[in-house]
Chain A
Amino acid sequence: MSIIEVRNISKRFGQTQAVDDLSFEVQPGEIFGLLGPNGAGKTTSIRMILDIFKPDSGEISVLNGGMTEEKKNHIGYLPEERGLYQDISLERCLSFLAVLKGMDEATVSERLQEYLELFDLAEARDKKVKELSKGMQQKAQLIATLIHDPELVIIDEPFTSLDPVNTEMVKDMLVMKRNEGKAIIMSTHQMNQVEALCDRILLIDHGRSVLYGTLQEIQNSFSAREIMVTPLSDLPQTINGVKEILKLNGRYRLILTEDAKPNVILKTLINLGVELNEFEIALPPLNEIFIKVVKKQEGGARG
Chain B
Amino acid sequence: MAKIWHIIKYEYSRHVFQKRFLFSLLSLPMAVIAMVGVVLLMGVFSMDSTPVGYIDHSGILADPLRLETSGDIFDPLIEFRAYQDEDLARTDLEAGEIQAYYILPEDYVESLSVELFYLEEPGSGVQSQFRSFVRRNLMEAENIDPQLEKRLSEGSLVTVEALDGSRTMREDQWFLIFTPFIAGILYIIVVMTSGGYLMQAVVEEKENRTMEIVITSVTPGQLMTGKIIGNIAIGLTQLVIWLLFGWLGLVVGGYFWPVLQDFSLPANYILILIVLLLPSFVMISALMAAIGATMTEMREAQQISGMFSISTTIPFYVSSMIMMNPNGTLATVLSFFPLTSPITILMRMGFAVVPTWQIALNIVLLVIFAVLAIWFAGRAFRMGMLQYGKKLSLKEIFRKNVQP
Contact = CB atoms under 8 A, between A and B. Distances in A.
Contact of A96 (B2, B10, B215, B403): B10
B216 A83 contact: no
B403 A85 contact: no
B402 to A, nearest CB: 11
Contacts of B386: 47, 52
A54 B209 CA distance: 21
B199 to A, nearest CB: 15
B6 A99 contact: yes
B135 interface: no
A79 B212 contact: yes
A273 interface: no
Given A72-B218, A77-B216, A81-B212, A100 B6 contact: yes
A100 B212 contact: no
A82 B209 CA distance: 6
B208 interface: yes
B213 A52 contact: no
A102 B7 CA distance: 12
B213 A86 contact: no
User: Range of interface residues on chain A?
Assistant: 20 to 34
A122 interface: no
Contacts of A278: none
B219 interface: yes
A77 B10 contact: no
Interface string B268-304: 0000000000000000000000000000000000000
A87 interface: yes
Contacts of A50: 216
A84 B14 contact: no
A144 interface: yes
B204 interface: yes
Nearest to A49: B216
Contact of A54 (B6, B210, B403): B403
Interface string A47-64: 100101110000000000
A97 interface: yes
Interface in B209-232: 209-219
B403 A53 contact: yes
Contacts of A97: 213-214, 217
Contacts of A101: 217
B6 A96 contact: yes
A100 B388 contact: no
A144 B209 CA distance: 14
A269 interface: no
Interface of B: 2-3, 6-7, 10, 14, 204, 207-219, 386, 388, 403-404
8 contacts: A47-B386, A52-B216, A54-B403, A72-B217, A77-B213, A81-B212, A82-B209, A86-B208
Given A77-B213, A81-B212, A100-B217, 15 more contacts: A47-B212, A47-B386, A52-B212, A53-B404, A72-B216, A72-B217, A72-B218, A77-B216, A79-B213, A81-B209, A83-B209, A83-B211, A85-B208, A97-B214, A100-B3
